[in-house]
Amino acid sequence: MDTWSWIRELPNSSDWGTESDDSPHVFELASSGTSQGESTRSIQLRAQRATGSNTEVLVNFAVCLQGFHNLGSKKTLWVSDTCSLSSSDDKSFLPLVLQLLQEIISRSPTANDSTCPRSQLQKLKPDPVSWIMDSYSPESFSYFFNLLFITRLFWVCACNAPSEVGSLFFRSLLAPNLEALYSKNTPVLRTFLTTIGVDTELCFMRTVGYMIAKWCILRELGVGLQTLTPLAPENLGFSYAMEGHGLWVLKGYAPVSGMKLRRSNVDKNQFPVVGARDSVLKYALAHQQLEAVIQLEYTVGFYGGHIQVDARVDNLRIHVVKLGYNQNDDVDYGDEKHFPSRIRVWVGPEVGANYVAGLSLGLSTDTGKTEVETQKVVKGSFGKSKIPKVKTVARSSTKTRSRNWKWDQDAEGNAAVFEAVLCDSRTGQEVATWKPSIGGGEENGLRNRYSGANRAFTKSGGLVMAGDEYGEGVGWRLSKEMEGNVLKWRIGGQVWLSYCANEVQSSYYETRCVEWCDEVDLPLIPPKYNF
């Protein structure tokens, strides 16, 4: 699908016919043939002349249905605002792009406890979007526009139209373009997310995540999506990295149902778990999204014979948000969430780099500490008594302070690896690889995991780890010859999410994993001092 190229090739507004000319330009978005010689059902994008202006020829776009007999010969689902087309200037399409973005953001399934309500995001600033349209070629911008358009069509076709229209959208429009949207539009989407601000970024990515979550549910349930999309990506996640102010930052998003399944007590192709209650539970769990921020602090030192690059974990923020609209949705499962059980972060020079002389690691931390306290009491009687009486009492106590998270450092070539593994506070088992007992079991330490003084997660079910928790950093010695260059440095991460029953009685459990990898800049430019 290349909607953007079709829109750009439309004739100038001045070349269009009169208002009575009933011949709009039509682009077929999706279609499916019917049996017994019936007409083809299709979803179309139409460009047509708008009415109401005597001084300027204006055009608007409409999404229409064709061939759905129970809806009439033609039904319009969505109409854009008017715009004046100019083939020599893509800025004439800026109002259309802004409208799509604004309508996507305003329908975002923000987390129920979000501190940024949608009412504060009603006005999107046009300057960042205009700058992006100027900075990228039409071919690069096309992938980003297709993502916008498909996401807007999701609400139109899947929520505001009959079920057969939604089925055609998922099967013939979203599924064939899913992998291309995630793999090829990264540069424009990354620039867009870094320029619009984090609040709008969250709204946008949660809308995309909600659409992907619905697609994953339908694919698991059936309706023919399994056979039509056999090559769907295993990990439907998106990430981008950036460098600035002495920080390397990797941000990642992944709908939980689009993450790779690692362990489960149910066949991965079987959506309904045994029992209706567990089926509702799994449906609620499918409407969740992983949002991760991996933040590393780095410093560069210049010495007589080498360059020293040091890095340490500054912040790891892992959140699992519920993609919902009503605070009362699935009220029985409000505290049933996936939780992070293992985090693996790596950073280092690009593959094949020969300018690194050595890598130095820090120490891994222990899982717990043991404190031993001893108290001795001596009692006696002295004086006129012929038989001295002496009484001795000794008391001892042991205090054990356990840590839910085990920290490790390792190396793979010249890349440093930071790893955090969640361990059951009662059994010591690694949660990402365990098998909870039937019924959820009260013997594990993860029941009621979002309450109590010794909980391993925040009240909202997330995880925040700071540098002082992690411990020591790592360092590389680089050749002095690299001074003045800006190197490309690898940064990546893997996050495991697990689920076992928190408050409900259920035997269902699973562990899923997603992996991200990107590049950041490492400027090796010594500071200039003016005296």
Using pLDDT thresholds of 50, 70 and 90, give the confidence band for residue 288: very high
Given a cut of 70, whether residue 222 has pLDDT beyond it is no
- Mean pLDDT score, 9-30: 73
| pLDDT value, residue 159 | 81
Given a cut of 80, whether residue 17 has pLDDT beyond it is no
Using pLDDT thresholds of 50, 70 and 90, give the confidence band for residue 306: very high
DSSP 91: G
Task: Name the average pLDDT for the chain.
Answer: 81
Given a cut of 50, whether residue 228 has pLDDT beyond it is no
- Rounded Cα–Cα distance for residues 337 and 285 (Å): 7
Given a cut of 60, whether residue 120 has pLDDT beyond it is no
Given a cut of 90, whether residue 243 has pLDDT beyond it is yes
Using pLDDT thresholds of 50, 70 and 90, give the confidence band for residue 184: low
DSSP 269: T
- Rounded Cα–Cα distance for residues 117 and 203 (Å): 10
Strand order across the 25-32 sheet: 25-32, 41-49, 59-66, 74-79
- Rounded Cα–Cα distance for residues 423 and 142 (Å): 46
Higher pLDDT, 279 or 350: 350
* Angle at 149 (CA atoms; ends 190, 89), nearest 5 degrees: 80
Using pLDDT thresholds of 50, 70 and 90, give the confidence band for residue 396: low
Higher pLDDT, 39 or 30: 30
- Rounded Cα–Cα distance for residues 463 and 381 (Å): 59
Kindly report the backbone phi and psi dihedral angles of residue 200, in degrees, each rounded to the nearest multiple of 5, phi listed first: -65, -35
| pLDDT value, residue 88 | 59
Helical spans, DSSP H, in 89-197: 94-106, 126-135, 138-154, 163-168, 175-184, 186-195
| pLDDT value, residue 383 | 59
Using pLDDT thresholds of 50, 70 and 90, give the confidence band for residue 382: low
Higher pLDDT, 471 or 104: 104
- Mean pLDDT score, 158-168: 85
Higher pLDDT, 522 or 373: 522
Given a cut of 70, whether residue 367 has pLDDT beyond it is no
| pLDDT value, residue 227 | 47
Q: What percent of the chain has pLDDT over 70?
A: 74
- Mean pLDDT score, 421-430: 83
| pLDDT value, residue 230 | 43
| pLDDT value, residue 456 | 79
Q: Which pair of structure tokens corresponds to residue 367?
A: 């899982």
Locus of tokens 């280092």: 348
Locus of tokens 């013939």: 172
Using pLDDT thresholds of 50, 70 and 90, give the confidence band for residue 231: very low
- Rounded Cα–Cα distance for residues 370 and 100 (Å): 59
Query: In this structure, are residues 288 and 321 in contact, taking their beta carbons and an 8 Å threshold?
Result: yes
Given a cut of 60, whether residue 371 has pLDDT beyond it is no
Nearest to 110 by CA among 42, 193, 200, 172: 200
| pLDDT value, residue 439 | 46
Listing DSSP states for 339-353 in one string gives EEEEEEEEEEEPTT-
Given a cut of 80, whether residue 80 has pLDDT beyond it is yes
Total-model pTM: 0.86
Given a cut of 60, whether residue 523 has pLDDT beyond it is yes
| pLDDT value, residue 387 | 63
Cα dist from 199 to 127, 204, 264, 333, whole Å: 17, 9, 34, 27
Kindly report the backbone phi and psi dihedral angles of residue 233, in degrees, each rounded to the nearest multiple of 5, phi listed first: -60, 145
- Rounded Cα–Cα distance for residues 433 and 165 (Å): 42
Query: In this structure, are residues 246 and 525 in contact, taking their beta carbons and an 8 Å threshold?
Result: no
- Mean pLDDT score, 345-350: 95
Using pLDDT thresholds of 50, 70 and 90, give the confidence band for residue 58: confident
The model's pLDDT over 256-270, given as tens digits with 9 standing for 90+, comes to: 999 999 988 776 555
Kindly report the three-state secondary structure assignment for every residue of 441-510: CCCCCCCCCCCCCCCCCCCCCCEEEEHHHHCCCEEEEEEHHHCCCEEEEEEEEEEEEEECCCCCCCCCCE
| pLDDT value, residue 109 | 85
- Mean pLDDT score, 287-294: 95
Using pLDDT thresholds of 50, 70 and 90, give the confidence band for residue 16: confident
Query: In this structure, are residues 188 and 144 in contact, taking their beta carbons and an 8 Å threshold?
Result: yes
Given a cut of 80, whether residue 489 has pLDDT beyond it is yes
Using pLDDT thresholds of 50, 70 and 90, give the confidence band for residue 113: low
- Mean pLDDT score, 230-255: 84
